[in-house]
Structure 1
Amino acid sequence: MSHTPRLWTVVSCSLLVASFGAGATACGGDDNPLSGHPYDAAAQVAFNQTAGSRPVDPDRPLEVTAKGVDGSRITDVTAVDTHGRRLAGELSAKGDRWHSTVPLAAGVRYTVTVATEDERGAPGQRTLSFETTPAKKLLKVEFGPEEGTYGVGQPLDATLNEPVTDKAARALVERALVVDAKPHVLEGAWHWIDDTHIQYRPKDYWPAHSSVTLRSNLEGIKIGDDMHGAASTPLKLEFGDRVEVITNAASHWMTFKRNGEVVSSLPITTGKPGFATRNGTKVVLGKQYFVRMRGDTVGIGGSEYYNLPVYWATRVTWSGEYVHAAPWSIGSHGYANVSHGCTGMSTGNAAWFYENIREGDLVTVVNSIGDWMPTFGNGYGAWNLDWKEWREGSALLKGTQEGRSPVDSARLRPQV
């Protein structure tokens, strides 16, 4: 005896979204059960949430069940919150139950659309809308630096108002911080400096004349006990030319490169023994036309104490290392290192440097007898960590294969 197989495929059709209590137009009189609009499936499904003005607890999972009327089953459930985020869930093999597999967001409105079919294969639909209660404790994210145009070495910062220590919670935070670069940057990663500070850099410098938008999808998302993400203000940065400065403390000369081409070579002096300039790559922090520099502000006194008016000063560390005009030591420029750690040059050269450098540009010191620039704590030293070490500071990428994100790894698993 021949049997006609049951048809499970549902043909795409226009869905009539309605508030809870209002259904879509029933199927027409056509003999084909798939020819009409989805009928109101209110009699076929039940929700564990109730529509209405009273918000529900976001810690309570969302559940949709089939009542078994007319052999009906659930074929799909879509739950979308106010921000357009889909709630992850799992549908049973029999189509009799769907439940959420992640916590609901707090302080948002969900619209849940359930697709069903009866024993003839005719499609039904039911929609429910409800709100969740606001969070009791909010994790706020503040992005930096300030909006503007920077050099291609500028890292991105995210500062949290509450500590995040749990690895899974850190991974959730990272996943929700979206870095959108144009043109696209293939690899980049967040690095946890401590429990409240995260820094982002690409594998290589940002492309010249590119832009990046940084935003958070954390709003309402559960991060820990009683703590959910708060809304945050997006940040947009532009990047200028690729400016790289090489300060050679052994030859006492500086090479200034723009987009790979040498545009100037300048005689300089750097830190003398006992005050040697730090090696490594530093990111320009800011510029000041005039700075009063005193030895006691950095712990220098006695015979080495100084109190000098300094012009055309470009800052590269928070502890007081600058590139600046040093007319008092001009006889040593190009010949000897006589400063207390700064890079000095003639007034004319310092003015030129000042006018051609911007925040985020790169200044690398080589061949100094000084210590290395630290990665964190004294400015931006992120580029002194190789890419593998930088990735190890990410809760998402630590231990993963370079060049692949966790999503890539899952997608590329062999089929079994």
Structure 2
Amino acid sequence: MSTSPRTRTVVSCTLLVAALGAGVTACGSDGNPLADKPYDAADQISFTGPTGAGKKADPDKPLEVAAQGDGRITDVTAVDATGRYVAGELAADGSRWHSTSPLAANAHYTVRISTEDEDGAPGRKTLVFDTSMPTTTKRLDVTFGPDAGAYGVGQPITAKLNHAVKDKAQRAIVERALRVDSMPAVQGSWYWVDDKELHYRPKEYWPVHTTVQVHSNLDGIRINDRLWGGSAKPLKITIGDRIEAVTDASSHHMTVYKNGAVINEIPVTTGKPGYETRNGVKVVLEKQSFVRMRGTTVGIAEGSSDSYDLPVYYATRVTWSGEYVHAAPWSVGSQGYENVSHGCTGMNTSNAEWFFDTIHPGDIVKVVNSNGDPMEPFGNGFGDWNVDWKKWRTGSALTNGKPEGPAPEDALRLQPTTV
């Protein structure tokens, strides 16, 4: 005797759904083999602990779907309300599917199961459930920088964490969730500066007029038994023209470029012997129309021959330790001829005013042919561009030791995004 369509449907969706170690049987009562009827998790999933409406599942336990009777599973998708999919593995014979990536905490999930019976008749089932947030864990919150706004082509993106992450595998979980999307798209990577801070930069400077959007998918993701992903405010910045100021300390001149074309050449003075200006690429941190500069702030004893206490105007800061490009009317006679400063780059007042009005945070200030130390990569401003790309990739928990180019699971990181 032939099997009726209704009987085939019952066989095809006779499934055991085990979420967080608890089993449940779910099947549609509709005779249509393509029926897709959602069920309330409170009725369909048993939890570890008390059951009932409003109870939530433990995200530490895997999600499993198993076929019963003569049916087989053909496809399972599990996605949370933010669009994050749960990776899973389906047995070759279609008897069982289980999740291979952790569920998020405090999330709402929709699971869609496709099946077929021994005659190939299809069936579908949708289940929904919520996961809990463990009460004994800490939340890893992320703060992105800089502030929203317009910046130069050298501006790195920063991510500061409120808890340290030391383990490489756990760092990979965090890093994969921190997304940087740009238009146009660029190749870039995060670098772990320390256990609580990451920097992101492209392989080359940002293209001019790029829009960059940064967000985190970490919320609710399990990092370890005691640490779960927390909140992060998204960030949007725009990139302006490519402004680069290159100072040759040996010739005592600065050349300023805009999008590759020279727009000014300025006589300057840089650090004298014992106070040489740092070599390398620096990124403009901030601009201050007036700064009181004192030698005591950089370790020069008050009253010594090198001591100073000066009002300084049109000051463009490039290191946190006190290196600026600024007006230095007291050294005009040396500008273009010799280096007499304590490490800053000095110029006359009119040139300093022009520079101050032209330059922006994120623009590039580069010093060459100085006898000073190299600019520090981190900790004294943004020396990120002094790290070559190959070494930069070693600072990533995802790309360290891997060939150039993204891993397959990270390929979407380089896709253009409409912003």
**Superposition TM-score tier, normalisation by shorter sequence:** 0.7 to 0.9
Q: For residue 37 of structure 1, what is the amino acid of its counterpart? A: L
- What corresponds to 1:117 in structure 2? 116
Deviations 1:169-195 (A, max 9, x none): 11111111111010111x211111100
1:71-113 CA-partner distances (Å, limit 9, x unpaired): 2111111111121111111111221211111221100011111
Work out the CA distance in 2 between the residues paired with 1:297 and 1:164.
Answer: 34
Work out the CA distance in 2 between the residues paired with 1:41 and 1:275: 72
- Structure 2 unaligned blocks of 5 or more: 1-24, 413-419
* Shift in Å, 1:23: 3.8
Deviations 1:357-407 (A, max 9, x none): 0000000000111111010011000111111111111111111112x1121
Counterpart of 1:10 in structure 2 is none
* Residue correspondences, number: 377
Q: Does the Cα contact within 8 Å between 1:295 and 1:306 map onto a contact in 2? A: yes
**Percent of aligned pairs sharing the same letter:** 58
What root-mean-square deviation, in Å, do the aligned CA atoms of Structure 1 and Structure 2 show? 2.1
- TM-score with structure 1 length normalisation? 0.87
Provide the rounded CA distance (Å) in 1 between the counterparts of 2:160 and 2:328. Answer: 37
What's 1:210 paired with? 210
Alignment of 1:208-357 (within 5 A): 208-301=208-301, 302-357=304-359
Q: Note if contact 1:38-1:123 (Cα within 8 Å) is conserved in structure 2.
A: no
Match of 1:157 in 2: 158
Partner residue in 1 for 2:34: 37
Match of 1:374 in 2: 376
- Given that 1:24 and 1:37 are in contact with CA atoms closer than 8 Å, whether structure 2 keeps it comes out as no
SS of the aligned residue for 1:305 comes to coil
Aligned to 1:391: 393
1:39-82, Cα deviation, whole Å (9 max, x unpaired): 7799xxx96768842101111111111121xx211111111112
Q: Which residues of structure 1 form unaligned runs of 5+?
A: 1-19, 28-35, 412-416
User: Which residue of structure 2 lines up, in the alignment, with residue 80 of structure 1?
Assistant: 79
**Contact kept in structure 2, 1:72 and 1:119, CA below 8 Å:** yes
Assess if the C-alpha contact under 8 Å between 2:327 and 2:349 holds in 1. Answer: yes
Deviates more, 1:248-257 or 1:52-61: 52-61
| TM-score (norm. length: structure 2) | 0.86
Name the CA shift for 1:306/1:41 in 2 (closer, same or farther; >3 Å). closer
Q: In structure 1, how many angstroms separate the alpha carbons of the residues matched to 2:94 and 2:402?
A: 36
Q: Is the 8 A contact 1:140 1:232 kept in 2?
A: yes
CA shift in 2, pair 1:130/1:345, >3 Å: same
SS across alignment from 1:90? strand
Native 8 Å contact 1:290 1:312 kept in 2 = yes
Paired with 1:183 and 1:364, the residues of 2 have a C-alpha distance of: 26
- Secondary structure in structure 1 of the residue aligned to 2:399: coil
Q: Given the superposition, is the C-alpha separation of residues 297 and 364 from structure 1 closer, same or farther in structure 2, using an over 3 Å criterion?
A: same
1:26, 1:40 within 8 Å by CA — same for their partners in 2?
A: no
Distance 1:215 1:133 in 2: 23
Q: In structure 2, what residue type is equivalent to 1:331? A: G
In the TM superposition, 1:165-176 aligns within 5 A as 165-176=166-177
Are 1:147 and 2:148 matched, yes or no? yes
Task: Work out the CA distance in 1 between the residues paired with 2:52 and 2:384.
Answer: 50
SS of residue in 2 equivalent to 1:390: helix
* Mapped partners of 2:36, 2:232: distance in 1: 41
In 2, the alpha carbon distance for the partners of 1:410 and 1:323 equals 41
Given that 1:48 and 1:62 are in contact with CA atoms closer than 8 Å, whether structure 2 keeps it comes out as: no
